[in-house]
Chains A and B, each alone.
Chain A
């Protein structure tokens, strides 16, 4: 493998790895809103359709 190939590989693999780790860390540290919709039925009123 040539130095330029190594650089392309490191840049590609590094970018997706950093993005993946950052996203997973962000998801795990952010308070989840899921519990909110598990507490009761979803309510929908006609005014919501006028958005």
Chain B
């Protein structure tokens, strides 16, 4: 590539914060605590740490190295990177996934982002008008259903502060303005301001949560320590019904008393028994590994092409090893040290372990937590701060999802940033409108998240780590990763890149497909059926089919764009 003036990062801390901002999202504060609590802190964190070392870090570093290598040769998109890295005519078409996955995720993620902004304003209004505080669980559930339009398609597209529509317009335009300003003046600026603010505000909310104590003295079991214990105690004592379903989890500071309380509870239900789940027993459960690896994988935002594109704007002597490690460490700090200590303990302090169990990600975030903040002293202020934190986490992520598409359009069509933002803005507006309209039971959002936000990300991550270890070449990749690096990775990471990571990822992907596409339970072996495949092939759900059709149309369009680009053809011939 001849010398050219390219958009670049303004500083090293800027690109690190941008990658960390891309990774830190709602999952850090809502999904992670629920996963730890479900499986027990000790066992989950062992699987989580192992997954961090053999999936999270290697895939991230591979993307950093491949992205910078391609960027130095004038390619910023995933299609250009794959075309540059692997000398096959078809390799550029893997880039379809690299642009399509972030774009489709943006279409529904920006809707969730609008929820967080809407809830922020709702709590700000509650400071002035206390009647806006939520009274009970059904109140917060009804508000959420109405706000997002889960009762009927199009129900939330009304001009009201208590529906998603105005907030969706605001966040969508804000994303477009920031992305139009470019890498350093848009994305980097937003993340340089947003990430420190996010961490400071989180620490503020954390201090409030950890000093909650026992909010209701009449219910001494409902306190912050029980919440923390429910998350972090290594083993679990649960009461299981005759049908095998978990009836209750008992948490106590003393293990013997915990067992006695569980036994007393089981005696009240015919056929119920007490089950002690030790760390080793839980580690033998494939579902735990699936959950821990999935959490690491999606939390770090590795494998879906954003880091690849971001790294392409880095300089030839920038430290990739340290940058990658710092971005991952920032994400882990936000997830484990902040998210892990805020949401679940606060919820248990007000609603008890039983009131929080099985709430799910959206249930915990938008049904349980609004009620929790409504119940605590100065809760409207802390609620507004907490949802604003979620908003910052969301917008720094959504910005990253647009850049791969921008890079592809600029590179393959040769159009300006203004033109590519206009084209992409129109495309994503249609997609976001589709998700916002088909809001009944959040069907469109859920379908796209399953097939694109999970299934296709697994595919692209597997492609990338195999390309890096086997086709780009381990030695070349290792050399690129260490060019300009002050840190030297230990040599045992080479087989991790080449063998362990792909094998582990493929195994986890296989288990995920077996469980979620074919409905097979890895722990019990029984087939339960999958609601996602059932919606497509048994029920023939029109929204599920339209969602898949949207993805197919985008895939065809991007394939045609890449295939028709003179840029890749011209470069192939040289």
Residues of A within 8 A of B (CB): 1-2, 4-6, 8-9, 11-13, 16-17, 19-20, 22-24, 26-28, 30, 32-34, 36-38, 41-44, 48-49, 51
Contacts and interface: CB of A to CB of B under 8 A. Distances in A.
Closest 5 A/B residue pairs (Cβ): A37-B315, A1-B229, A5-B233, A41-B3, A33-B317
Nearest to B255: A2
A51 B476 contact: yes
Interface of B: 1-6, 8-13, 16, 41-42, 45, 72-74, 225-226, 228-229, 231-235, 251-255, 258, 314-319, 322-323, 325-326, 329-330, 332-333, 335-337, 340-341, 476, 479, 484, 486-487
Contact of B315 (A1, A19, A23, A34): A34
Given A12-B340, A23-B325, A42-B3, A30 B8 contact: no
A31 B8 CA distance: 18
Nearest to B476: A51
A13 B315 contact: no
B251 to A, nearest CB: 8
B389 to A, nearest CB: 17
Nearest to B254: A2
Most buried by B among A19, A22, A37, A48: A37
B45 A12 contact: yes
A31 to B, nearest CB: 9
Most buried by B among A27, A32, A34, A38: A34
A41 B233 contact: no
B270 to A, nearest CB: 30
A27 B318 CA distance: 11
B318 A8 contact: no
Contact of A42 (B6, B232, B340, B341): B6
Contacts of A19: 329, 332-333
B225 A1 contact: yes
Nearest to A24: B326
Contacts of B258: 2
B332 A13 contact: no
Given A8-B41, A8-B45, A42-B3, A30 B337 contact: no
12 contacts: A1-B251, A2-B233, A5-B41, A8-B42, A8-B45, A12-B232, A23-B325, A26-B486, A33-B318, A34-B10, A34-B314, A43-B3
Contacts of B330: 20, 23-24
B232 A8 contact: yes
Nearest to B228: A1
Nearest to B235: A4
Given A42-B4, A42-B316, A13 B340 contact: yes
A20 B329 contact: yes
A38 B88 CA distance: 33
Given A12-B41, A42-B72, A44-B74, 19 more contacts: A1-B229, A1-B253, A4-B233, A4-B235, A5-B228, A13-B336, A20-B330, A26-B322, A27-B326, A28-B13, A33-B12, A33-B317, A33-B319, A33-B484, A38-B8, A38-B315, A42-B74, A48-B73, A49-B73
Given A5-B233, A8-B232, A16-B336, A23 B322 contact: yes
Contacts of B233: 1-2, 4-5, 8
Nearest to B315: A37
B12 A34 contact: yes
A27 B13 contact: yes
A26 B336 contact: no
A34 B41 contact: no
A12 B232 CA distance: 9
Contacts of B232: 1, 5-6, 8-9, 12
B2 A44 contact: yes
A43 B448 CA distance: 41
A3 B421 CA distance: 54
A41 B316 CA distance: 11
A38 B317 CA distance: 11
B337 A17 contact: yes
Nearest to B484: A33
A2 to B, nearest CB: 5
Contacts of A16: 329, 332-333, 335-337
A45 to B, nearest CB: 10
A20 B335 CA distance: 12
Given A19-B332, A27-B16, A34 B11 contact: yes
Contacts of B329: 16, 19-20, 22-24
